[in-house]
């Protein structure tokens, strides 16, 4: 049966602060290719109010905040307040009624509360995707220092431990006034967090991008009857044709083996761990080159073998994957399902990742890549150097990685899993007295 699905989200390309927005767009297009109707409701930020592309209708109602060309993200509290939730609820309900929507899917956490209210008013099932720890804690800092396996922060934990940790590591240079403002915004975010928790607890369907990310959530928020694991879609890589040598020349990257780090430069992503491993890798492979592609607050060491590119367009990133000998994802936090890993594997690259979150669901150690313990620069350096020394092993692991993304993460299979989950939620909504599976 063909369905009409509404995606509610605070961002949508071209406004895409991270990989989640591109993944959501890929899901919408994949559903549309199978004959389902997908409508997206998202703020206009100054873009076209309505457009249809690849079978996906994007409705952008007028919104008070506008983003400049090239600006991908608005202020942190913009989507964490009652006014925004009311805006999402109003427009989601209006569009859903006009389009005859069967199910509402909150794709990002900022749109969750408004989407929940709209779905409840319409009597439609609500699905929500869990792709990080943002619905557990507004800053998620506890995952960096607590040894817990399941996280259920209280306000006491948040105020006495999470916020001080966050300020110490991400705002150490703030003056007294700026620090006071940050405290105020972080406390306001906790107040909004209570509404998000309620919406998550009452959603008809909770989709986790990996088993690893769902395992972090307590049963009170994500019980087994409503939860489904639907791994993210791999990227569509057709048309990526820039020669690896050409992209290196264009970006000023010299010759020699190339190690690529892509994504945000942060504590959670393990930027400091890789930085601490650089000397050992270079000692083993003297002509190695390192590329850091992505924005962030942590600067890698300034040295002649390190190239810091900042954020790069997706075609350039894809060309860098092809140019790289090893792609490293040294995450410290419980990486839900790394888009960088998925993309690198799709391009047949040898990868080194850490045993955290959903990464072991992508990387089978010794078969499709190498896994090491988090926070261990020496182990990371040994793994990277071992692959750089052994081109045949790199080729073997890369080929196996590409095959895995084509089979286990095949689009047809993953879309089928998602549609089955939608059907279960619709059936439960139609028969509310029926026990949850």
- Is 255 in the same domain as 212? no
Residue 4 has phi, psi (to 5 degrees) of -115, 115
How do residues 368-405 score in pLDDT, each as one tens digit?
999 999 999 999 999 999 999 999 999 999 999 999 99
Shared domain check, 265 and 209: no
Place of tokens 């895409």: 16
CA 23/CA 94 separation, integer angstroms: 25
H helix runs in 132-226, sequence order: 142-145, 155-157, 163-170, 176-202, 211-215
What tokens appear for 260 in the block? Answer: 């690529």
* pLDDT (0 to 100) of residue 432: 60
**Residue 63: C-alpha distances to residues 77, 139, 435 (Å):** 15, 26, 41
Does residue 68 register a pLDDT over 90?
Answer: no
3-class DSSP assignment, residue 46: coil
What pLDDT does residue 170 have?
A: 85
Q: How far is CA 278 from CA 84, 252, 264, 322, 378, in A?
A: 44, 20, 18, 21, 10
Q: How many domains does the chain have?
A: 2
Among 219, 221, 172, which residue's Cα sits nearest to residue 193? 221
Q: What was the pLDDT predicted at 434?
A: 47
| Residue 238 resides in a domain | no
Q: How far apart are CA 273 and CA 335, in angstroms?
A: 15
Whether residue 211 is found in the same domain as residue 252: no
Judgement on whether residues 57 and 173 belong to the same structural domain of the protein:
yes
Grouping H, G, I as helix, E, B as strand and the rest as coil, residue 353 is strand
pLDDT band at 436 (very low <50, low <70, confident <90, very high): very low
Closest CA to 110 of 140, 129, 85, 127: 85
Residue 34 is given by DSSP the state T
Is residue 279 in a domain? yes
Distance (Å, whole) CA 287 – CA 281: 10
* DSSP string covering 298-313: PPPP--TTEEEEES--
* Parent domain of 350: 244-407
Q: Which two tokens stand for residue 312?
A: 């790069």
| 197, part of any domain | yes
Domain membership flag for residue 73: yes
On whether the CB atoms of residues 56 and 32 are closer than 8 A, the answer is yes
CATH number for the domain harbouring residue 334: 3.40.50.2000
Q: Contact, 64 vs 83, CB < 8 A?
A: no
Report pLDDT for 437.
40
pLDDT digits (tens, 9 = 90+) for 191-237: 999 999 999 999 999 999 999 999 999 998 998 889 999 999 987 77
pLDDT in tens, 17-26: 877 898 999 9
Q: Are 171 and 181 in contact (CB under 8 A)?
A: no
Are 194 and 120 in the same domain? yes
Shared domain check, 210 and 296? no
pLDDT at site 241: 74
Structure tokens at 101: 């929507």
Is residue 433 predicted with pLDDT exceeding 70?
Answer: no
Q: Are residues 318 and 209 in the same domain?
A: no
Within-domain flag for 437: no
Residue 14 CA to residue 12 CA, distance in Å, equals 6
352 lies in the same domain as 214: no
The answer to the question of residue 435 being in a domain is no
Residue among 122, 126, 121, 157 nearest 139 (CA): 157
Average pLDDT over residues 78-89: 96
109 and 228 within one domain: yes
Q: Is residue 436 part of a domain?
A: no
* Separation between Cα atoms, residue 353 and residue 254, nearest integer Å: 25
| 419 and 402, same domain (yes or no) | no
Evaluate whether residue 176 is within a structural domain: yes
Question: Structure tokens of 106?
Answer: 């909150």
Q: Give the whole-angstrom CA distance, residue 304 versus residue 107.
A: 41
Residues 133 and 105 in one domain: yes
Same domain, 133 and 268: no
Q: In 10 A of CB 185, how many CB atoms?
A: 13
CA–CA separation, 354 vs 375, rounded Å? 9
Helices (H), 238-301: 244-250, 271-284
* Confidence check: pLDDT of 87 > 60: yes
């Amino acid at each position: 049966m063909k369905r009409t699905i509404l995606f509610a989200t605070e961002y949508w390309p071209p406004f895409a602060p991270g990989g989640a927005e591109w993944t959501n767009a890929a899901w919408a297009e994949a559903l549309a290719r199978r004959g389902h109707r997908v409508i997206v409701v998202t703020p206009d930020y100054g873009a076209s109010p309505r457009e249809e592309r690849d079978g996906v209708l994007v409705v952008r109602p007028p919104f008070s905040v506008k983003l400049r060309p090239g600006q991908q993200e608005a202020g942190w509290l913009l989507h964490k307040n009652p006014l925004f939730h009311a805006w999402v609820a109003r427009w989601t309900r209006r569009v859903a009624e006009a389009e005859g929507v069967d199910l509402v899917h909150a794709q990002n956490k900022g749109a969750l509360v408004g989407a929940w209210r709209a779905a409840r008013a319409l009597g439609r099932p609500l699905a929500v995707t869990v792709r990080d720890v943002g619905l557990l804690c507004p800053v998620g800092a506890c995952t960096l220092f607590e040894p817990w396996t399941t996280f259920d922060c209280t306000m006491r934990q948040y105020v006495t431990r999470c916020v001080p940790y966050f300020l110490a590591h991400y705002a150490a240079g703030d003056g007294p006034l700026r620090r006071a403002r940050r405290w105020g915004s972080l406390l306001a975010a906790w107040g909004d967090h209570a509404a998000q928790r309620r919406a998550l607890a009452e959603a008809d369907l909770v989709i986790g991008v990996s088993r690893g990310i769902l395992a972090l959530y307590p049963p009170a928020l994500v019980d087994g009857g409503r939860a489904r694991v639907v791994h993210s879609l791999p990227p569509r890589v057709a048309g990526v044709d820039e020669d690896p040598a050409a992209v290196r020349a264009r970006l000023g990257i010299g010759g020699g083996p190339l190690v690529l780090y892509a994504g945000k430069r942060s504590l959670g992503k393990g930027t400091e761990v890789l930085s601490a491993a650089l000397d050992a890798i270079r000692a083993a492979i003297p002509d190695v080159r390192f590329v850091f592609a992505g924005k962030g607050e942590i600067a890698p060491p300034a040295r002649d073998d390190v190239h810091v590119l900042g954020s790069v367009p997706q075609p350039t990133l894809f060309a860098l994957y092809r140019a790289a000998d090893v792609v490293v994802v040294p995450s410290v936090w419980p990486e839900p399902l790394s888009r960088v890993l998925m993309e690198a594997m799709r391009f047949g690259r040898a990868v080194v990742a850490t045993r955290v979150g959903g990464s072991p669901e992508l990387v089978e150690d010794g078969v499709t890549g190498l896994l090491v313990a988090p926070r261990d620069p020496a182990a990371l350096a040994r793994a990277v150097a071992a692959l750089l020394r052994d081109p045949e092993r790199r080729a073997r692991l890369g080929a196996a990685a590409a095959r895995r993304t084509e089979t286990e993460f095949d689009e047809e299979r993953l879309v089928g899993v998602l549609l089955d989950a939608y059907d279960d939620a619709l059936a439960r909504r139609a028969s509310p007295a029926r026990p949850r599976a």
